[in-house]
Structure 1
Amino acid sequence: MNPVTKHLGRVVDLGHPWRGVGPFIFVVHHRDTYPKGEANLGPDPSLLKGRNIGMDMSNDLGTGWNMYHGKTVPGFPAHPHRGFETVSVCMEGYVDHADSTGAGARYGAGDTQWVTTGRGVSHSEMFPLVHKDKGNTFELYQVWLNLPSAKKLSPPEFWMLWKEKTPIVRRENNYGVATVRVMAGKFDNVEPAPPPVNSYAADPESDVAIWLIEMEPRSSIKLPACNLDTTQRLLYVHQPGAVVDISGTAVSDNNGFLQEAPKERLTITNGPKPARILVLQGVDIGEPVAQHGPFVMNTQKELEEGFAEYRRTQFGGWPWPSDQPIYPATDPRFAKHGDGKTELPEGRDAIAKPFVYTKA
């Protein structure tokens, strides 16, 4: 008699943007194969012809890259957020960050930036094409994580988890290697740095985890069980042609596996092509969600109050001379916080002066 297979979850469509789970609102995954950069760290202006500049979002020209809301440099010029968190993992290329607190950063090549927007912050996220002699591949995951009502009006802050400090779990079998990049939540006995102090992930009862798994062909890995019966977990399978087996269920590229037995461990075995799996888990906050664009509150009234405050105060104003500032191509990865503290991945002091491109 064959043993009875436990029902551990089901395949779900991820949609676009990718659907959220538990306290997570949604995920966007950007992958752009940008050309070489010009002096202004944007593409050759001739390559912008025919694009819907300011709203170039869908690779309509089939070039493999978008300008998004950027005019000369790809990215997202200054825009407000309130009431939630963004966790941005930049795997390739760079993000130039600037915000209304006066803070700025350049991160990439495996770094993670965690922004608790709290009572409100405006920021820009530009994607400078720093390489002038070759293409500029860019890849970014941005996860939106909700905040409970008690933290929605907390002071805004951002926190860096540099690539050099990001824990990597490695599992190897006879066929290949699987690695796990641990941004939040303990993976077996491996813990990342603590999240921002006002983050929902700072609450031990949230059981929040954010892991990015990279799997060579035929490799395998076993995930820890969730810590709580109420934890919700979704595995986002992607990479062209990827097919993985998750505890007996086949899941292909751009599909998810919604775990329905949170206290069980899942075994993931990859097929013949490389695969990536983003894992998000957490306990649902259990409060009403009212969202309009980049504001996430509990009620419609709170949304209206938030937009009114933004119109009145601009969340502290915009201290930069452009709504899409970038830094010189030669600047290192760095972070300068609103309190004036500066940091580099190596721990040395950083001084970075914003460079603003103005079209001649």
Structure 2
Amino acid sequence: MEANTKQVSAVLSPPAPHMVGDGFRVHNFFPSGYKIKMSPFFLLDYNAKIGFSARNEPRGVGVHPHRGFETVTIAYHGAVAHHDSAGNSGVIYPGDVQWMTAARGILHKEFHEAEYSKKGGDFQMVQLWVNLPAKDKMSPPKYQGIKHEDIAKHILSDDGDAIEVIAGTYQDTKGSASTFSPINVYNARLNKGGKAEFSFPATYNTGLVIIEGRIQVNDAEVAETDQFVHFKNEGTEIKIEALEDSVVLILSGEPINEPIAQYGPFLMNTAEEIQQAISDYNQGKFGYLEEE
């Protein structure tokens, strides 16, 4: 193995699932599933592929608050409708991304999209919580709804192997989402035998989610569908090869080396800021959003 290879720390199988509302059956890889360093990514909920039966009343999660971070939802199967108290709404379909900056405070709700709910079918999503630096935690909320066709793509081969650059930069291809700190979020879509190489600073926390397929990492470890590959904070280069047709979510970012205070849906720096968030929420300062 080359000296500058970013070596694998662990290949992690999904923890036991739990329900978020009645619409999301998730495996929490971190922070509760595994105690691994992934800042600025604070949480990774992975809804492995599951079939939902047809239903007239959409499943989902009702109105709830957030402050101090961003929620990033990446759709692979199924469809989710979003509404928030800043007046944003949108539906994400397979390949789409919803990037919501809660920042100083927002209420939102997420439900299966009505037509998908009536038909049922496969459902597979990733939701990330991306921490914000202290200086940005009280900035205005915003919403980026990014359609699959608008995601920047870096073509790797004539066979259709490609890197979708959701955020950050891959070689000379700049990502579609704006971020508050240096973050790389990619989808690698590789045919069997397809290869991709990545280069991230040694200090960046880095991991891969195998959404579909089976890959070999750095000519050594093999990772299967639904597993998470975590890397050591040393070396810079990663190579992956698809052992079958594969989709891989790549996460790498510069750690935010600041204290963290977390309580439920609030992610701040101090206990006092958490108390203030609760107080502001109770006083209606996060706005208003109807349940239905």
Q: For the superposition of Structure 1 and Structure 2, which TM-score range results when normalised by the shorter chain?
A: 0.7 to 0.9
- Determine if the alignment matches structure 1 residue 189 to structure 2 residue 188: no
Q: Is contact 2:6–2:237 with CA below 8 Å preserved after alignment?
A: no
* Equivalence map 1:168-247=2 (5 Å): 168-172=153-157, 177-195=160-178, 199-201=179-181, 206=182, 208-223=183-198, 225-226=199-200, 228-239=201-212, 242-247=213-218
Task: Return the alpha-carbon distance in structure 1 between the equivalents of residues 211 and 58 of structure 2.
Answer: 27
Shift in Å at residue 298 of structure 1? 0.8
Partner residue, 1:17: 28
Report the AA paired with residue 256 of structure 1: F
Q: How many residues align?
A: 270
Give the alignment partner of residue 256 of structure 2, picking from 271, 285, 288: 285
- Does residue 107 in structure 1 map to residue 78 in structure 2? no
Deviation for aligned residue 1:133? 8.0
State the partner residue of 1:32.
Answer: 50
Deviation at 1:151, TM superposition (A): 0.8
The one-letter amino acid of 2:204's match is T
State whether structure 2 residue 97 is matched by structure 1 residue 98: no
Unmatched runs of 5 consecutive residues or more in structure 1: 37-42, 45-71, 326-360
Q: What is the aligned counterpart of 2:122 among 137, 150, 156?
A: 137
| Conserved? CA contact 1:177–1:220, under 8 Å | no
Aligned partners of 1:262, 1:154: CA distance in 2, in Å? 33
| Residues 138 and 258 of structure 1, relative CA distance in 2, 3 Å threshold | closer
User: Does the Cα contact within 8 Å between 2:132 and 2:180 map onto a contact in 1?
Assistant: yes
Work out the CA distance in 1 between the residues paired with 2:131 and 2:6: 26
CA deviation string 1:162-210 (max 9, x = no partner): 222111223238xx65322210011111112351xxx423xxxx2x100
The DSSP-based 3-state class of the residue aligned with 2:174 is coil
Write out per-residue CA displacement over residues 50-91 of structure 1, whole angstroms, 9 at most, x where no aligned residue: xxxxxxxxxxxxxxxxxxxxxx31111111001000111123
Superposition deviation, residue 269 in structure 1 = 1.1
RMSD of aligned residue pairs (Cα, Å): 2.4
**2:226 paired with 1:257:** no
- Give the deviation of 1:125 after TM superposition: 0.6
Distance across 1 between alignment mates of 2:176 and 2:191: 27
Q: Percent identity?
A: 25
Query: For residue 162 of structure 2, what is the amino acid of its counterpart?
Result: T
Name the CA distance, whole Å, in 2 between partners of 1:115 and 1:5.
Answer: 39
- Greater strand fraction, Structure 1 or Structure 2: 2
When the two structures are superposed, what TM-score results if normalisation uses the length of structure 2?
0.83
Aligned twin of 1:162: 147
- For 1:313, the equivalent position in structure 2 comes to 284
Kindly indicate whether the alpha-carbon contact (under 8 Å) linking 1:172 and 1:220 is maintained by their aligned counterparts in 2.
no
Q: Which stretches in structure 2 are left out of the alignment for 5+ residues?
A: 16-26, 32-37
1:210-250, CA deviations, whole angstroms, 9 ceiling, x for partnerless residues? 01112222222222x11x442221122343xx432111222
Partner of 1:8: 6
Alpha carbons 1:83, 1:295 under 8 Å: kept: yes
How much does 1:97 deviate?
Answer: 1.1
Q: Could you say what secondary structure the match of 1:233 adopts?
A: strand
The answer to which structure, 1 or 2, has the higher relative contact order (CA under 8 A, 6+ apart) is: 2
- Distance in 2, matches of 1:305 and 1:177, equals 50
Contact 1:233 1:262 in 2 (8 A): no
Q: Please report the TM-score for the alignment, with normalisation by the length of structure 1.
A: 0.68
Q: How has the CA–CA distance of structure 1 residues 166 and 133 changed in structure 2, closer, same or farther, with 3 Å as cutoff?
A: same
- Provide the rounded CA distance (Å) in 1 between the counterparts of 2:272 and 2:233: 37
Name the CA shift for 1:133/1:159 in 2 (closer, same or farther; >3 Å): closer
Structure 1 residue 256: Cα displacement:
3.0
How does 1:111-126 map onto structure 2 within 5 Å? Answer: 111-126=96-111
Please say if residues 237 and 251 of structure 1, whose CA atoms lie closer than 8 Å, have aligned partners that are also in contact.
no
Deviation at 1:263, TM superposition (A): 5.3
